[in-house]
A and B are shown apart, each in its own frame.
Chain A
């Protein structure tokens, strides 16, 4: 069982090796990569049931990482190098969510960040928060100023995620799924560290820092979603906003952990669907040209889920999450977040309205990939018709954080 538990971390490395070989660019090579990723995901699911002593929190977040990876591998991505880096990063992300040692998880997250950043431009923006979190790690290890150390770790990792997401998402309009997958996997890794810190240090956890960062990210995201004209900026805004929401969910204390994990899952799904539907589209106005009905349906599902608009995925988590956050005394922040989610919903409607405008001649017939369509159907069923099982899984994972 112990050997099997290494499988999910090792298999993406094997997939990365296949991608870096000559077979990586061929159809069967890509198929093999998708198969390996799916196998890793299956192994993770089997471990959930087979091992009674398994760390369910690790398995939940690991499944999020591997599910995202499988989705990215199944999408029609042309840039093999990005996909290869994503697979290497996935192994690091699984290490980060699996270990209970901050001295392992924080460096793993930072390594993942630099791996997917893929450019030396604005490297200093990445390095400053990274060094801040490493400094925080040293301070926490020396245990002489635990509070400051935790603030530096949390603020450093969150800022690093913000910067990396912005840099990778705005780079180009093709291969959006792979880059969104990288941003989300990094968010999962950062969240695992923050949730563990909140659980391990209930008194000293830097909740004020998390609250401020969450509101900043959500504000930037919501305003960006309202004003962006380029698709890359638009998607970056949504990624930031959902990341802000996930950070905000960490304020719910013990009661809020399960809804926080549900919000994390819903964020991943909505962002990946949005990226898949908007791939190879340059501007928000160009969305009016999309002709494929499945693509427009996936776009509407992704965009409205990202805005947590009822009845789309992520909406039901709002109730327990609000209750937990109110109980912790963050009522005014909750009101602010509601207002920002309203702005985000308006941002979602910018693309949905264009996609479903009537009486237009539509010139782009490219449909959305089978992976996106499959995910959309699975998500609709899981979140809308049978969310109970999903919440039980999230609850079991939340109980295992300690």
Chain B
């Protein structure tokens, strides 16, 4: 089914949570119930629109909104969704709704409600943006909102330091790509689909890839740029943790997928990034034993390994891993970050592990043929991480266990639609080069 061209469904999807945020400012603290109704209403509208988009998605007829934003500069307001995007918008909309219902209306004040809805807009914008400048605008907005959600100065500064370093590198990456596009075509453009044409600049390709990988290393994060993870997750309440671990953890790798990988042709720098990803996994397995935050770093390692996979199946597994990382991390977000009383296996941790295992297995299997040593190292890290995860998490309360249900449901659905994760060009770059 195709959507009527006159109906800007993507804009409505992206901006309706922001409208909800604006309206949720008005009810005072004594009218918390009304505010909750308003915010939930807008989150449900987003979820309904995202579901409609995901269910009606057809590869050749996906909706796209292209408006001239600054024509003289070649910047446009370009929103689109591909197969992967259709799954991600549904995930983000579900995540925001979960964040809103994860705590009671009295616990969730005006500020938090507003920030949750704003972060939903930023994340939906990130997933749907087709123009580099627009992507960065949503990236910056999301980063700012997540920073404000932290609420405490020291944690805000630490989180912002690492994340804005990634954002600055992303701006540099897009600015250089914009320049190269202008040199190549004679017209300036920040359209990310055009970045794949930059393979004709072999001199700059290696450096550009490293620049893009540095964005992921800061934003994802990869070892050793991880010191913000513990402090951020420990000060956030459950809704904030859900958005940080389940939503924002996608931002860096999404930049990698949309802006960097289209012009990647399997260069030498990739080995360095893959080694960093494998070390991140080992770090996750060996780091301090009483908390689960380092696991986020390890999970990101396996996602990056997958995205750099030489085969289409591996690349698809990397994309699947992005979503399953988000799902598994969201499961972890239901626990407090530092589980000092934790002892013994628990049902919830098994679910978190189970969510990540299929994609991890596929990634390691695809990487084994080209980089066996790195794959073995990554596999060792993965096994250590899984043992730690099972050991560290205590049983979950009944109310929180209910919140696990939609996550598990979404995971099962994502397993049923593997075609959505295959890149649009249907070939991993290295495989294409071999041909």
Note whether A and B form a binding pair: yes
Report A's interface with B, CB cutoff 8 A: 288, 304, 309-312, 315-316, 318-320, 322-323, 326-327, 335, 338-339, 341-342, 345-346, 349-350, 353-354, 356-359, 387-388, 391-392, 395
**CB <8 Å contact, A353 and B160:** yes
Contacts of A339 in B (CB 8 A): 168
Query: Are A310 and B179 touching (Cβ within 8 A)?
Result: no
Given the known interface contacts A326-B179, A346-B160, the answer about A319 and B137 at a Cβ–Cβ threshold of 8 Å is no
11 pairs from A and B in contact (CB 8 Å cutoff)? A288-B153, A310-B171, A316-B70, A316-B73, A316-B75, A320-B73, A322-B179, A323-B179, A326-B176, A342-B164, A357-B156
Q: State which residues 141-185 of B face A: CB under 8 Å.
A: 141, 144, 147-148, 151-153, 156-157, 160-161, 164-165, 167-168, 171-172, 174-176, 178-179, 182
**Inter-subunit contact B168/A342 (CB<8 Å):** yes
Q: In the complex the two chains form, what is the Cα distance from A269 to B174 in whole Å? A: 25
Are B175 and A322 touching (Cβ within 8 A)?
yes
Residue of A nearest to B69 (CB): A388
A358 touches B111 (CB 8 A): yes
Tell me if B140 is interfacial: C-beta within 8 Å of chain A. Answer: yes
A353 touches B153 (CB 8 A): yes
B156:A309 contact, CB within 8 angstroms: no
- What are the interface flags for B250-290 relative to A under an 8 Å C-beta threshold, 1 for contact and 0 otherwise? 00000000000000000000000000000000000000000
B176 proximity list for chain A (CB < 8 A): 322, 326
**Further contacts, 11 of them, CB under 8 A, given A335-B172, A345-B164, A346-B164:** A288-B153, A310-B139, A310-B141, A310-B167, A316-B70, A319-B175, A323-B182, A323-B188, A388-B71, A392-B72, A395-B72
State whether A349 and B156 are in contact (beta carbons under 8 Å apart), knowing that A310-B137, A320-B188, A323-B188 are contacts in the complex: yes
Which residue of the partner chain B has the closest CB to A387? B70
CA distance A327 to B133 in the complex (A): 20
Q: Which of B110-160 contact A (CB under 8 A)?
A: 111, 133, 136-141, 144, 147-148, 151-153, 156-157, 160
Bound-state Cα–Cα, A354 to B148, Å: 10
Knowing A356-B148, A388-B72, A391-B73 are in contact, say whether A319-B140 is a contact too (CB < 8 A).
Answer: no
Shortest distance in angstroms between B141's beta carbon and chain A's nearest beta carbon? 6
Collect the chain B residues with CB atoms within 8 Å of residue A322's CB: 172, 175-176, 178-179
Residues of A within 8 A of B182 (CB): 323
Given contact pairs A342-B168, A357-B152, A359-B151, A316 touches B140 in the complex (Cβ within 8 A): no
A255 to B73, CA, bound (A): 11
Check if B343 is an interface residue, CB within 8 A of chain A.
no
By the criterion CB–CB under 8 Å, are B164 and A349 in contact? yes
394-421 of chain B: CB within 8 A of chain A:
none
Counted as pairs of residues, one from A and one from B, with CB atoms less than 8 Å apart, the total is 101
**If the complex has contacts A316-B73, A346-B164, A395-B72, are A304 and B144 also in contact, measured as CB distance less than 8 A?**
yes
B68 sits at the interface (CB 8 A): yes
Min CB gap B206→A, angstroms: 16
B190 at the interface (CB under 8 A from A): yes
Q: How far is the CA of A117 from the CA of B167 in the complex (A)?
A: 39
Q: Which residues of A contact B151 (CB under 8 A)?
A: 357-359
Which residue of chain A has its CB nearest to the CB of B134? A311
Q: A319-B188, A358-B152 are in contact. Are A391 and B136 (CB under 8 A)?
A: no
- Nearest chain A CB to B121's CB is how many angstroms away? 12
Of B72, B140, B147, which contacts A353 at CB under 8 A?
A: B147
For B168, what are the chain A residues with a Cβ–Cβ distance below 8 Å? 338-339, 341-342, 345
User: Min CB distance, B186 to chain A, in Å?
Assistant: 12
What residues of A have a CB within 8 angstroms of the CB of B165 in the complex? 342
Q: Which residue of A lies closest to B161 (CB)?
A: A346
Nearest Cβ in chain B — how far from A170, in angstroms? 25
- Is the beta-carbon distance between A315 and B137 smaller than 8 angstroms? yes
What's the Cα separation between A170 and B182 when bound, in Å? 43
Partner of B68 from A318, A388, A395 at Cβ < 8 Å: A388
Chain A residues closer than 8 Å to B172, beta-carbon distance: 322, 335, 338
Interface centre among A304, A335, A358, A388 (most CB of B within 10 A): A358
By beta carbon, the residue of chain A nearest B140 is A310
Complex CA gap A395/B71 in Å reads: 12
- Verify A319–B133 contact, CB threshold 8 A: yes
Residues in B whose Cβ lies below 8 Å from that of A391: 70, 72-73
Residue numbers in B under 8 Å from A326 (CB-CB): 176, 179
Name A345's closest neighbour in chain B (CB-CB).
B164
| Contact between B148 and A310, CB atoms less than 8 A apart | no
Q: From A308, which residue of chain B is reached at the shortest CB distance?
A: B171
Q: Which 3 A-B pairs have the closest CB atoms?
A: A310-B140, A311-B137, A358-B151
In the complex, what's the smallest C-beta–C-beta distance from A373 to chain B, in angstroms?
16
Nearest CB on A from B412, distance (A): 36
Give the Cβ gap from B195 to chain A, nearest Cβ, in Å. 13
Bound complex: CA of A341 vs CA of B171, how far in Å? 11
Q: How far is the CB of A343 from chain B (nearest CB, A)?
A: 10
Distance of A346 Cα from B160 Cα, bound (Å): 7
- With CB as the reference atom, state the residue of chain B lying closest to A324: B179
Known: A327-B179, A353-B156. Is A311-B174 also a contact (CB below 8 A)?
no
Chain B minimum-CB-distance residue to A310: B140
Let me know if B164 and A318 touch, CB within 8 A: no
CA distance A335 to B133 in the complex (A): 18
**Chain B residues with Cβ under 8 A from A350's Cβ?**
157
Chain A residues contacting B179 (CB-CB under 8 Å) are 322-323, 326-327
Nearest residue, chain B, Cβ from A321: B175
| Docked CA distance A338–B215 (Å) | 14
Taking CB atoms, residues of chain B closer than 8 Å to A311 are 136-138, 140-141
Tell me the smallest distance from the CB of A398 to a CB of chain B, in Å. Answer: 11
Residues of B within 8 A of A335 (CB): 172
* B77 closest partner in A (C-beta): A385
Contact partners of A358 in chain B: CB under 8 A: 111, 151-152
Nearest-CB distance from B236 to chain A (Å)? 11
Which B23-78 residues have a C-beta within 8 angstroms of A? 68-73, 75
For A288, what are the chain B residues with a Cβ–Cβ distance below 8 Å? 153
Q: How many Å from the CB of B12 to the closest CB on chain A?
A: 17
Shortest beta-carbon distance from B306 to chain A in Å: 28
Q: Inside 8 A of B190's CB, which chain A residues have their CB? A: 319
Chain A residues whose CB sits within 8 angstroms of the CB of B167 once the complex forms: 309-310
Tell me, rounded to whole Å, the shortest Cβ–Cβ distance linking A396 to chain B.
11
For residue A101, give the distance in angstroms from its CB to the closest CB of chain B.
31
Question: What residues on A are CB-neighbors of B188 within 8 Å?
Answer: 319-320, 323
Residues of A within 8 A of B137 (CB): 310-311, 315
Contact A309 B164 (CB under 8 A): yes
Q: A312: which B residues are within 8 A, CB to CB?
A: 140
